[in-house]
Amino acid sequence: LVPDLAEVQHTTTVEMLGVEAMDCRACSLWQPASRTVFGEGVPTARLMLVGEQPGDQEDLAGRPFVGPAGQVLDRALEEAELNRNSVYVTNAVKHFHFTWRNGRRLHQKPEPDSVQACRLWLEAEQRLVQPVLIVMMGVTAAQSLLRRPVTISRERSRIFPLAEGRQGLVTVHPSYLLRLPDEAEKAREYARFVEDLRRARDFIE
Ligand code: URA
């Protein structure tokens, strides 16, 4: 049975955790996906960023946030004077959920079952990294960590208590910024995203 809960609870480094997660079959997503895309970054980072799930490019590369959403994230982190090399980046779900359309793999929102099954890894990552603040990017990350329904538009930019004395800041997902059709709105929303990351930076300093 993978994951072995007892084993995951006793894993002592986040690198070993990532190796264990490679064989995860806790939900059905492992089969169509190419590989597990685990979190990466500083193993003792003060700031953890959580997205939804790997996309097409992440699934191929085996690394989180390396596709278009990752480029938006990298630029915003830089503008907020945060470095991707000083944080830990992960996802609520570690396998790509997609459907085939016209020969392309199209992103599908993860099912609640997958979010629930994958929480084991996200909790173990928190236990080992011990971040001071977790930035929850988008509704899937926020709902997984806050364990309740979340409306991003109402709760963004706010800091909430999480389990075990941790704190979490709600913000938008960078893919949301990519999808906005209106350029002025896109610029405005992007600026707010950078503002949220600045708030996170101030919080951990
Ligand atoms: N979107 C996410 O939520 N995570 C990734 O790793 C890439 C895109």
With tokens 């597990």, the residue in question is: 36
* Cβ–ligand 1 contact at 90 (below 6 Å): no
Q: Phi/psi of residue 186, each to 5°?
A: -60, -45
163-177: burial string, b at 16+ Cβ within 10 Å, e else: eeebebbbbbbbbbb
Which amino acid is it at 165?
G
38 within ligand 1 shell (Cβ under 6 A): no
110 lines ligand 1 (CB under 6 A): no
Gap from CA of 84 to ligand 1 centroid (Å): 14
Q: CB within 8 A of 124, min separation 6: which ones?
A: 8, 9, 11, 17
CB-CB contact of 163 with 127 (8 Å): no
Tell me, what's the pLDDT at 173?
Answer: 98
Q: How far is the CA of 24 from the centre of ligand 1 (A)?
A: 19
Mutate to test the pocket of ligand 1, among 35, 37, 50, 58 (most ligand atoms within 8 A of CB): 58
Does the complex come out with an ipTM higher than 0.85?
yes
With vertex at residue 153, the alpha carbon angle to CA 150 and CA 159, rounded to the nearest 5 degrees, is: 65
Whether the CB of 114 sits within 6 Å of ligand 1: no
The first and second tokens of residue 169, run together, are 């800041």
One pLDDT digit (tens) per residue for the chain, 205 residues = 578 888 899 999 999 999 999 999 999 999 999 999 999 999 999 999 999 999 999 999 999 999 999 999 999 999 999 999 999 999 999 999 999 999 999 999 999 999 999 999 999 999 999 999 999 999 999 999 999 999 999 999 999 999 999 999 999 999 999 999 999 999 999 999 999 999 999 999 9
CA dist., res. 46 & res. 8, Å (int) = 22
Whether ligand 1 lies within 6 angstroms of the CB of 131 is answered as: no
CA of 203 to the centre of ligand 1 (A): 24
Range of the domain at 130: 5-204
Query: What's the CATH code of the domain at 10?
Result: 3.40.470.10
User: What is the C-alpha end-to-end distance of the chain, expressed in Å?
Assistant: 41
Instruction: Identify the pLDDT of residue 121.
Output: 97
CA distances from 125 to 3, 12, 16, 96, 98 (A): 14, 10, 11, 19, 25
Spacing, Cα 1 to ligand 1 middle (Å): 27
Tally the domains of the chain: 1
User: What is the Å distance from ligand 1's center to 183 Cα?
Assistant: 22
The ligand 1 atom at the shortest distance from the C-alpha of residue 137 is 3
Q: In sequence order, what DSSP letters do the residues of 151-198 get, joined into one string?
A: -HHHHTT-EEE-GGG-EEEEE--HHHHHH---HHHHHHHHHHHHHHHH
Site of tokens 């278009």: 68
36 lines ligand 1 (CB under 6 A): no
Mutate to test the pocket of ligand 1, among 125, 175, 179 (most ligand atoms within 8 A of CB): 175
pLDDT given at position 1: 58
Is the distance from the beta carbon of residue 174 to the nearest atom of ligand 1 less than 6 Å? no
Instruction: Give the pLDDT score at 2.
Output: 75
CB atoms within 10 A of CB 55: 24
